[in-house]
Homo-oligomer: A and B are copies of this chain.
Amino acid sequence: MEKPRTRKVARELQIQTIKATARRLLDQRGASELSLREVAREMNQTSSALYRYFANRDELLTALILDAYNDLGASTEDAEAVVARSNRRERWLVATRTIRRWALQHPHEYALVYGSPIPGYHAPVETIVAATRVTNVLGRIINDHFQEHPTAFDPSSEKRVAEFFELENLRFFMPNVPAEMLVKGIGAWTQVFGFVSFELFGHYENSVRDFEAYFDEVVTRLGHDVGIF
């Protein structure tokens, strides 16, 4: 074990170790079976010692949720960043495939984040920011298209959509996307995660044979729907 230089560093290191250990156990057992005592045992420590770093189990879970959002977000950003900005089709495919692949590789973390929320748990602000990252990747691809192919906003559509959307928020990330396409965009976002959840949680059993192929099919259609290729 390396000797940490300062207490602050040691503390940060300890927090990382706890989270890493917890993540390891999470991947084996799932969120509801994650036990603070087992994390401590795994680290050759007392459970009470962990309470110096996380006030309770929920706080640890929140930290894991935050990490999961950021990991998924960063993975998607990185994967998509490699593709030429003008190649909208490939960007869309790469981004959505990365989301699915990440979910399959981290099923319990995906479930933690996109499955049923912990009862009584309310997402703190930082979580919301982290949660936005994946979504923004998809949004940026769509927006880039309409930035390059400017489309006039239809006032009546704008007005109608503004009644059920938080238009200001959506336009913060997709300023060039007309209302009509915002609706389709949010729909595509919903469907991508709906797909992944259905696949992961077993609802496609007896319906889908080749998930990979069907996912590509769906995602290609969605790309057409939102008008980016």
Which A positions have Cβ atoms within 8 angstroms of B? 29-33, 108, 111-112, 114-120, 123, 128, 131, 163-166, 169-170, 183, 186-187, 190-191, 193-195, 197-198, 201-203, 205-211, 213-214, 217-218, 221
Q: A187-B218, A191-B190, A213-B163 are in contact. Are A119 and B30 (CB under 8 A)?
A: yes
CA distance A30 to B186 in the complex (A): 29
**How far is B214's CA from A166's CA once the two chains are assembled, in angstroms?**
11
Q: For A162, give the chain B residue with the smallest CB separation.
A: B209
Q: Cβ of A207 and Cβ of B193 under 8 Å apart?
A: no
Number of copies: 2
Distance between A154 CB and nearest chain B CB, rounded to angstroms: 15
Q: How far is the CA of A193 from the CA of B204 in the complex (A)?
A: 12
Bound complex: CA A191 to CA B190 (Å): 6
> Considering only CB atoms, which chain B residue lies closest to A184 in the complex?
B221
Q: How far is the CB of A138 from chain B (nearest CB, A)?
A: 12
Q: How far is the CB of A30 from chain B (nearest CB, A)?
A: 3
CB distance from A166 to the nearest CB of B (A): 5
Asked whether B118 lies within 8 Å of A166 as measured between CB atoms, the reply is: no
